[in-house]
Amino acid sequence: MRTCTVHYLGSGPVARKVKDRAPGAAEPTRAARFPYAGGMGEESVKLPADLEGRYSFQKRLGAGGMGDVALCRDEQVGRDVALKVMRPEAAERPEERGRFLREARIQARLEHPALVPVYDMGEHEAEDDDGESARAWFTMRRVRGETLADIFERLASGDSTARYRRNKLLQIFVQICRALDYAHDRGVVHRDVTPANVMVGRFGEVYLLDWGIAKLTGDAVDGRPTSSDVPDDELEVTEAGSSLGTPGYMSPEQALGDTETGPTADVYSLGCILFELLTLERANPAQETRKRISKTIEGIDARPSVRFPDLDVPPELEELCVRATHVDPEQRLQSAGELANGIESFLEGDRDHELRRKLAREHVKRAVALVDEGDEKRPEATRELARALALDPQSRPATELLAQLLVDPPKQLPEGAKVALAEWLERARRRAAKVSAWRYGLWLAFLPVYLAMGVRIGWLFATCSTLLVGCFGLAILHARGSVRGAPATTAVYVLSTLSLLFFVPAFSPLLVVPSLMATNLMYFAAHVTPQERGIFVVLTALGTGAVFAGEALGLWPPTFVIDGEGIHIIPRLLELPPALTWGMLAAWAVLTASIPGIQAGRTRDNLVKTEHKLLRYVWQIQQLVPGELHAPPELDTDTGRR
């Protein structure tokens, strides 16, 4: 003989028993954490024989601590339901059976939109013909969606399909708070509020799940459930010293095994979820279960601004995190409704201006301390001031210090700026090479004139011409970026200087060559580093001096003679026909007199443009702080320093 008792209930949530794992135990699988999410497996679930006529098995959804969950078709009503049935081995233990029934009965009494409705429940009161032990079961709405834990994980991984902005998540969080506030008002404490136990449906519905270790408190008021509403043999007995909940989300009093936990235990869990919502990181950072419990008892730092200063977390929300996760239950927010009210006030645009001004002053103090430590701390100080102004845009100390930092440059070039300086210098080298290529092309244009004048020493003229052609080609490659850096610039300058030194025998070291070397040096000196400039000046001086020394020592025939009647040029490389020579020298005189002026003017124009740009920057910055506009320090055009 077989009998089955069926209880038709109103609506309410369904849950499973969740106990703390042993220290060091692995995280539970998704199927264990959330057994009725759908799509968890296709294995068969053996249903009690009495249900076979009414419920037809479709597929297995998952498994909980005491039972299996299957998707079934309610043939009588014509709808799909999730049916949870005790496992045979669990049904043999009376305490497990009582807990299972207690879970369903308590949840069925909580009628709220965020709680999964329980449709009916039943219990076998005798063994089946095949020896099957009596098993309890209940059915509930099948929930479709994803858990808040999955949403957090997708957002943290940068999943572009996770379209949940902060405000949307806060609205979901408010619904969780309201559901818990409702449960607390009816004497039920959840005790296992985690992101994995919150389901978000496709159409925005929110469900709070897993009421398996919920606790009944208080007295019945207006039909609200209390412990007296549940048979004595189904009451959960919690031994002192044991802890129930999920490490990392359970409250300190739960971690200590306090059996008198109240609504503030759930408030603590909500604070941990709020922190995770804002940062996508767990409020309790410990990795191992034992360490999580220890950290919970010790107290966590729930300030996103301290643990994740780069995140833009509003201070009002941070304050709620801190107050909700206080170690002392008496110092915590006293209700989930109070927490929900705080979130809703923020969403409606209410701001705690006094709190924001207080936090802004703290950021300014930290910025001042960082500035006093030296230039290497200026970036951190600037970020602190930016946070202060974000909190209090009218903070005069913050705006004054920020303007000071922006107007007064660091004494040393910061490391980050050195990269930009190197890129700028390379661009300057390429510009110098481009202009030099034009100049060397102009020099090459005079080669036919020299040939027309007549060449006396063919090998020397060929050497000079070859060096000049090589210099011209290398300058073009440098201007295009095919060769880069100081070695390329130095090579161009050395080749050009050598070509000029080999050209000295044409007009002596007194004519043409000195002006060309001066122009060449001036242009390169304006586009290289001070160290390179010094090297180029020394090379030019040594080369010029070597020419005079060689003639004085008789190493080669003299190219000029000084006597009482004047200075006489003795041509060695070229013939000097009077008319052609006169015209060529006149052309060189005009060019060498004009080009330095043009080059100096362009350099000065660039400096003035830079000065104007800097002045505009200073003017814009000083609009932050009313007062006299000060021009930037004058640039020393000789040293390049202010």
For 11-30, how does the pLDDT look when each residue is reduced to its tens digit (9 = 90+)?
Answer: 333 333 333 344 344 444 43
Q: Is the domain of 326 the same as that of 188?
A: yes
Q: Are residues 66 and 90 in contact, defined by beta-carbon separation less than 8 angstroms?
A: yes
Q: Is pLDDT at 225 greater than 70 in this prediction?
A: no
Residue 420 belongs to some domain of the structure: no
Q: Is the domain of 99 the same as that of 71?
A: yes
Phi, psi of 61 (to 5 degrees): -100, -30
Range of the domain at 15: 1-144
Residue 162 belongs to some domain of the structure: yes
Residue length, the chain? 642
Separation CA 492–CA 498 (nearest Å): 10
Q: Is the domain of 181 the same as that of 217?
A: yes
Q: Are residues 324 and 333 in contact, defined by beta-carbon separation less than 8 angstroms?
A: yes
Separation CA 207–CA 197 (nearest Å): 8
Region 377-397 average pLDDT: 77
Residue 637 belongs to some domain of the structure: no
Domain end, chosen from 97, 123, 144, is at 144
Instruction: Tell me the pTM.
Output: 0.57
Q: Is the domain of 389 the same as that of 480?
A: no
Q: Which amino acid is at 386?
A: A
Residue 426 belongs to some domain of the structure: no
Q: Is pLDDT at 329 greater than 80 in this prediction?
A: yes
Domain CATH code at residue 100: 3.30.200.20
Q: Is the domain of 99 the same as that of 225?
A: no
Of 20, 50, 150, 192, the catalytic one is: 192
Residues in CB range of 35: below 8 A, 6 or more apart = 16, 61, 62, 63, 64, 68, 69, 84
Q: Is the domain of 329 the same as that of 399?
A: no
Nearest to 45 by CA among 25, 33, 31, 27: 31
Q: Is the domain of 162 the same as that of 252?
A: yes
Residue 414 belongs to some domain of the structure: no
Residue 636 belongs to some domain of the structure: no
Q: Is pLDDT at 366 greater than 70 in this prediction?
A: yes
- Does 192 participate in catalysis according to the annotation? yes
Q: Which amino acid is at 394?
A: Q
Q: Is pLDDT at 234 greater than 90 in this prediction?
A: no
Separation CA 556–CA 474 (nearest Å): 31
Q: Is the domain of 110 the same as that of 5?
A: yes
Position 608 scores a pLDDT of 85
pLDDT in tens, 477-489: 998 888 888 888 8
Residue 621 belongs to some domain of the structure: no
Q: Cβ–Cβ contacts within 10 Å for residue 228, how many?
A: 11
pLDDT in tens, 581-616: 888 888 878 877 887 787 778 778 878 888 888 788
Please give the share of the chain, as a percent, with pLDDT higher than 90.
Answer: 18
Q: State the distance between the two ends of the chain, measured CA to CA, in whole angstroms.
A: 103
Domain end, chosen from 407, 427, 452, is at 407
Q: Is the domain of 187 the same as that of 328?
A: yes
Q: Are residues 273 and 339 in contact, defined by beta-carbon separation less than 8 angstroms?
A: no
Q: Is the domain of 115 the same as that of 133?
A: yes
Biggest CA-to-CA distance, the chain? 147
Q: Are residues 8 and 120 in contact, defined by beta-carbon separation less than 8 angstroms?
A: yes
Residue 535 belongs to some domain of the structure: yes
Q: Is the domain of 306 the same as that of 168?
A: yes
The total of structural domains in the chain comes to 4
The DSSP bridge partners found for residue 480 are none
Domain CATH code at residue 237: 1.10.510.10
Q: How far is CA 352 from CA 320, 355, 358, in A?
A: 12, 5, 10
Domain end, chosen from 304, 326, 351, is at 351
Please give the share of the chain, as a percent, with pLDDT higher than 70.
Answer: 81
Region 49-69 average pLDDT: 78
Region 205-224 average pLDDT: 71
The DSSP bridge partners found for residue 56 are 73
Q: Is pLDDT at 222 greater than 50 in this prediction?
A: no
Q: Is the domain of 195 the same as that of 137?
A: no
